[in-house]
Amino acid sequence: MSNDDQDVIPTRQIEAFSRKVTATANHLIGPLGDAGVSQHYQNALSDIHRELRRPNLQRSILSFTQTSPRDLIRSNISIPEIQHRALSYVPDELLANIPENSSTYSLFQGFQATQPEDEKRHHHHKHSRRHSRGRKLLTEADEEQKGPPELTHLKNEKRSLNHRLEMLGIRKNMCSTEIREIDTKIANLNTMRKIVLDRLAGLEQEEMDLEQDILGVDNKLEDLEEELEDAAALAQKMPTTPTKSAVEEEEGTDEFMSESIYQKLPSSATSSPKSRRKRPVRRISMPILHEHLEAGSKIKELQAHNDTITALDFDAPFGTMVTSALDDTVRVWDLNAGRCMGLLEGHLSSVRCLQVEDNIVATGSMDASIRLWDLSRAEYNPQDQPAAHSNKDGTTNDDDDGLAFEGNPEDAPPPPPPSSMQDCPLFTLEAHVAEVTALHFRGDTLVSGSADKTLRQWDLQKGRCVQTLDVLWAAAQASTLAPSTVSTSDSAAATAGSGWAKTGRYMDAEADFVGALQVFDAALACGTADGMVRLWDLRSGQVHRSLVGHTGPVTSLQFDDVFLVTGSADRSVRIWDLRTGSIFDAYAYALPITSMMFDARRIVCAAGEDVVKVYDKTDGRHWDCGAGTVVHPGEEVGFEGVKASVVERVRIKEGYLVEGRKDGMVGVWSC
Amino acid sequence: MSSLPYAADAESPLKPAELQVLRAQYEKEGEYVGIQTKFNYAWGLIKSSNRGEQQEGVRLLSEIFRSSPERRRECLYYLALGNYKLGNYAEARRYNELLIDLEPQNLQAGSLKTLIDDRVAKEGLMGVAIVGGIAVAAGVVGSMIFKSAARKR
């Protein structure tokens, strides 16, 4: 505005003239973008300018129009235009809901920041040049810079550096915003997953109910058929034939009748056919819910006993579980409902080891006996249970107090009627002279290990002991054999002078002589208190290989077709290659391992902690699972108040993990 | 740096290669495309001189508007701008007026308002001119017919 200088000249004409010149110049120069004029001012000016320039007539005619004729024609006639409008139309309710802009950067800034640096600057210049006549663009970068070229240069550089810094800030903000966006998406996806998971759970429940219905109809059908058969038989005056198999060897049978007569008598079980086969022998459908649960999430937790769990096993995920504890009881659980189905009563002392296979349960006790049970004869119907509770309230046994279901006490299942398992005992195997510490059966072969330092093989068809294996004798044999005839690993023990390894350090009186064993056909593996793992051939009764390595009593053992995994009180888990007899892998925890099991993916251990130690075979990861870890802050796991008890026993099948603790709690986890 | 571009910025199309970069990014992110990527592509499209691309850009913007409330205010402006470029002045006005209601201080919106008014007025004038021209022509023809008819009589 150099024209203002002329205002000092006192001539009126000149003054008036200069004012005119100023105004005109402002009109002409203003839009050109004077560096000193603010954007605001420019806009205001140009608005006024525009208002003035617009003919009055035109404004008065067209002031009522909201849009132009071309627009009107387009929006009402052209089909693609109408389609496009329908697609991009934003309804009024959305327009009504426009929150405050809280973003740290605008989308346009983000756009600018994504463009490559050089090109973008180039663009700016191009724009500002092209539109410098219009009042729009950033005009600070103009040629009005005064001073030496170096100064200009440096100023330019500073500006560009500042600009880049600003851009970087925007990019950073963009990244963090994007991450937040992704987090939201992940959360949404997780929610969706949860919904689908719930749907799956619902379907599985429905499946269960349907299976129950099928079973009920089956039972009715069978009963009816039986009745019809009976009627036909009666009509023909035929004697009824016993339906029981010869496997049964009832203890405490009435001695006054001869065996042949007794067999003809209808047993109590056959007299009430309804009580039999209440439970499906095997579920038709496979539950898969646990496979989709997040690894380590809790499925159930129940106060199974009031004392240390000594043994537990289950047949299948969401199937039937049997637990035993130092309180001398053996309980059967419906894992799906989390309800106690009944007690297996008969042992004189607490059960040390047990196995569940389909509907057969084998229990080995401190009273030196082994008992077999058939759970399919249990009187249990998950749906009848609440009704049964109401009528049998007076008859329920009282030692169930406090054994309510953890999650929701209000629908705590009623204690099972004491008679529910009365038909379950099959027979008793009595030959050991000290407590039975380990057992395993497969098919008709059961092998048990006892504190009397022997292993016994039983034929479950006949219910008799068919072979006794003396571990100490075998150990002595191994030491007298020439090193060439035994495996390389055994030769180490042989050269040590004795077959019975003197580990000393962990050889305490408390350790079970036979810590664990597993049988497969004629192959038997057993781990003993000397830390040795012996592989037997049941046909010859000989040890054909000994695996030396553990320095403490072996407490758990399991093998599949390739590997043998052992857990020991020496705190280590060893994985042996069965084909070579050499060690394949080993790792250790902080405390002695009391129980170990593996499934296709994971090796799980109870190692004296309040969590189950999990080793993932596929990715080699070690992690903890159980109440001791605060996995899900939302669930009650972390808020149990008191510290979770030490895990004593652990079982896993198909990613379905069950652990029993020192305080009698049993936790079920997906793994 | 301004947080909103002026209308003039929308008039300078990107190079095809630049637009291609934005499009590739948009397509790469597929179903889980981020807002910024989507906007970049949409803005690139609106800057284009091809009507079809402009429409696509407006459509994408309306999607952003729907899906992310926190960006609605900004989107209003772009929707107005896009519709202005498309010549959908009623829509453009609708969005822009709303934005001005929310942010009376918004310079870009203010300038866009004048632009829209201008354009409507100009086209309206043209329309009036055309209609007027047709009317005049019709009148001339009519009068000629009338005259010739009168002459015949």
Nearest by Cα to A88 from B36, B116, B46:
B46
In angstroms, the separation between the Cα of residue A515 and the nearest Cα of chain B is: 55
The predicted structure's pLDDT at residue A8: 46
What mean pLDDT do residues A598-626 have? 90
Contacts B43 to A, Cβ<8 Å = 107-108, 111
- pLDDT confidence of residue A111: 82
Q: How many residues does chain B have?
A: 153
Q: Quote the tokens at residue A250.
A: 């009832």
> Which residues on A lie below 8 Å from B78 (Cβ)?
107
Say what the alpha-carbon torsion angle A417, A422, A425, A428 is, to the nearest 10 degrees.
100
Count of all residues that appear for chain A in the document: 671
Whether B90 and A66 lie within 8 Å, measured CB to CB: yes
Closest CA to B115 of A65, A46, A39: A46
Mutate to test the interface with B, among A51, A68, A160, A186 (most CBs of B within 10 A): A68
Interatomic CA distance for residues B79 and B81, integer angstroms: 5
Give strand pairing partners of A568.
A554
- Cα–Cα distances (Å) from A73 to A68, A81, A393, B82, B89, in that order, read 9, 10, 83, 18, 12
Chain A stretch 159-218, residues whose beta carbon is closer than 8 A to a beta carbon of chain B: 163, 166, 174, 177-178, 181-182, 185
Q: Is the pLDDT of residue A312 over 60?
A: yes
Most confident by average pLDDT, A33-37, A167-171, A287-291, A553-557: A553-557
User: Longest C-alpha distance within chain B, in Å?
Assistant: 79
Which residue among B12, B59, B90 sits closest to A127, beta carbon to beta carbon?
Answer: B12
Spatial neighbors of A337 by CB under 8 A, at least 6 apart, are A382, A385, A413
Give me the mean pLDDT over the A106-129 stretch: 59
What are the two backbone dihedrals, phi and then psi, of residue A521, each rounded to the nearest 5 degrees? 55, -120
Q: Which of A33-37, A327-331, A448-452, A462-466 has the lowest mean pLDDT?
A: A33-37
Q: Position B2: which residue type?
A: S
pLDDT at A406: 40
Lowest mean pLDDT among A21-30, A116-125, A375-384, B91-100: A116-125
Distance from CA of A48 to the nearest CA of B (A): 11
**Is B43 in contact with A108 (Cβ distance < 8 A)?**
yes
The shortest CB-CB distance from A66 to any of B40, B93, B95 is to: B93
Residue A126 to residue B3, Cβ atoms within 8 A: no
Contact B121 A66 (CB under 8 A): no
SS3 A524: strand
How does residue A414 score in pLDDT terms, banded at 50, 70 and 90?
low
Nearest residue to A449 via CA among A473, A463, A468, A475 = A468
pLDDT band at A238; cut points 50, 70, 90: low
How is residue A287 annotated by DSSP? P
Average pLDDT over residues A599-623: 91
Q: Is the pTM of this model over 0.80?
A: no
**pLDDT for A17:** 59
B40 three-state secondary structure: helix
What residues in B contact A102, CB-CB < 8 Å? 70
Give mean pLDDT, residues A48-56.
53
Q: Where exactly are the structural domains of chain A?
A: 3-91+103-196
pLDDT band at residue A53 using 50, 70 and 90 as cut-offs: low
Query: C-alpha distances in angstroms, A336 versus A289, A319, A593?
Result: 11, 6, 29
A96: nearest CA partner in chain B: B98
Residue ranges in A236-256 assigned as alpha helix (H): none
Query: Is pLDDT at A494 greater than 50 in this prediction?
Result: no
Lowest mean pLDDT among A18-32, A145-159, A387-401: A387-401
| 3-state secondary structure at position A465 | strand
The DSSP H or E segment spanning B144 is: helix B107-152
Question: Is there a contact between B87 and A74 if contact means CB atoms under 8 Å apart?
Answer: yes
Residue A19: CB partners within 8 Å, gap ≥ 6? none
Helix segments in A481-605, DSSP class H: 488-495
Q: What is the mean pLDDT of residues A102-106?
A: 71
User: What is the average pLDDT across A246-262?
Assistant: 43
Best residue of A38, A47, A54, A71 to probe chain B, by most B CBs closer than 10 Å: A71
pLDDT tens digits along A184-237? 889 999 899 889 888 888 888 888 889 889 989 999 999 999 999 999 888 876
pLDDT confidence of residue A500: 56
Closest-CA residue to B12 (of A47, A168, A46, A136): A136
- 3-state helix, strand and coil shares in percent for chain B, rounded to the nearest 5: 85, 0, 15
Chain A residue with the nearest C-alpha to that of B92:
A67
What are B11's two structure tokens?
Answer: 């008039």
The answer to whether residues A653 and A299 touch, using CB atoms and an 8 Å cutoff, is: no
If pLDDT is split at 50, 70 and 90, which confidence band does A551 have? Answer: very high
DSSP alpha helix (H) spans, A89-148: 92-96, 107-114, 117-130
Tokens of A346: 């008969």
Best mutation target, A88, A101, A140, A175, to test chain B (most B CBs within 10 A): A88
DSSP state of A5: G
Q: What confidence tens digit (pLDDT) does each residue in A267-277 have? A: 433 333 333 44
Query: Which residues on A lie below 8 Å from B79 (Cβ)?
Result: 88, 90
- What is the identity of the amino acid at A54? R
Average pLDDT over residues A585-612: 92
Instruction: Note whether A33 and A135 are within 8 A (CB).
Output: yes
pLDDT value, residue B75: 87
Distance CA A404, CA A334 (A): 14
Compare all CA atoms of chain A with the CA of B51 and give the residue at the minimum distance.
A81
- Residues of chain A in contact with residue B8, where contact means CB-CB under 8 angstroms, are 127, 131, 134, 136-137
Burial of A482 (0-12, 13-18, 19+ CB in 10 A): exposed
User: Judged by CB atoms within 8 Å, which residues 47-76 of B form the interface with A?
Assistant: 55, 58-59, 61-62, 65-66, 69-76
Identify the residue among B60, B81, B89 best suited for mutation to test binding to A, counting A beta carbons within 10 A and taking the highest.
B89
- Find the range with the poorest average confidence among A5-19, A133-147, A462-476: A133-147
- The A656-661 sheet, strands edge to edge: A298-303, A665-670, A656-661, A647-653
A34 vs A37: CA distance, rounded Å: 5
Burial class (CB in 10 A: 0-12, 13-18, 19+), A207: middle
The answer to whether B33 faces chain A, any CB pair under 8 Å, is: no
Cβ(B40)–Cβ(B24) below 8 Å: no
Nearest to A209 by CA among A336, A302, A305: A336
- B104 Cβ under 8 Å from any chain A Cβ: no
Q: Of all helices (H) and strands (E), which one includes residue A471?
A: helix A471-480
Which of B12, B38, B40 to mutate: most A Cβ within 10 Å? B40
**What residue type is A400 in one-letter code?**
D
Residue B137 to chain A, least CA–CA distance (Å): 20
Residues linked to residue A652 through DSSP beta bridges, in sequence order = A657
Show the DSSP H helices in A115-258 as ranges: 117-130, 149-235
SS3 A660: strand
Asked if B143 has any chain A CB less than 8 Å from its own CB, the reply is no
Which residues are paired to B115 by β-bridges?
A: none
Tokens encoding A456: 């016994």
- Rounded distance between C-alpha atoms, residue A122 and residue A117, angstroms: 9
Of residues A110 and B94, more confidently modeled: B94
CB-CB contact of A135 with A38 (8 Å) = no
Instruction: Give just the sign of the alpha carbon dihedral A145, A146, A149, A150.
Output: negative
Q: Which residues of chain B have pLDDT under 70?
A: 1-2, 153
| Separation between Cα atoms, residue A293 and residue A288, nearest integer Å | 9
**Is residue A608 left, alpha or beta, with left meaning phi > 0 and alpha meaning psi from -120 to 50?**
left
The residues near A289 (Cβ < 8 Å, ≥ 6 apart) are A197, A200, A201, A204, A318
What is the C-alpha to C-alpha distance for residues A91 and A284, in angstroms, rounded to an integer? Answer: 53
Report the C-alpha gap between A76 and A68 in whole angstroms: 12
Q: How many CB pairs (< 8 A) connect A and B?
A: 164
Question: From the CA of B99, how many Å to the nearest CA of chain A?
Answer: 10
Query: Measured between CB atoms, does B120 come within 8 Å of chain A?
Result: yes
Quick one: tokens of A130? 């092209």
Query: Which whole-number Å values give the CA distances from A190 to A125, A174, A193, A195, in the listed order?
Result: 47, 24, 5, 9
CA distance A114 to chain B (A): 8
pLDDT grade for A45, boundaries at 50, 70 and 90: low
CB A363 within 8 A of CB A356: no
Higher pLDDT, A127 or A543: A543
A91 at B interface, C-beta within 8 A: no
Tokens of A666: 């049993």
Three-state secondary structure string covering B56-79: HHHHHHHHHHHHCHHHHHHHHHHH
What percentage of chain A carries pLDDT values higher than 70? Answer: 63
Higher pLDDT, A24 or B136: B136
Q: Specify the 3-state DSSP secondary structure of A39.
A: helix
For tokens 């379905």, the residue is A656
**A214 C-beta neighbours (distance < 10 Å), count:** 12
* CA-based nearest residue to A451, from A437, A466, A471: A437
Strands A369-374, A320-325: pairing is unpaired
Give the pLDDT of residue A394.
Answer: 38
Count CB atoms within 10 A of the CB of residue B88. 27
> B59 and A135: CB-CB below 8 Å?
no
Angle between helices B72-86 and B51-67 (to 10 degrees): 160
d(CA A156, CA B151): 81
Q: Which residue has the higher pLDDT, B24 or A387?
A: B24
Q: How many angstroms separate the CA atoms of A225 and A204, rounded?
A: 31
- Asked if A71 lies within 8 A of B18 by C-beta distance, the reply is no
Test the B interface: residue of A51, A103, A111 with most B CBs within 10 Å: A111
Give how far B46 is from chain A: nearest CA, Å.
13
**Looking at the partner chain, which of B18, B32, B72 has a beta carbon nearest the beta carbon of A185?**
B32
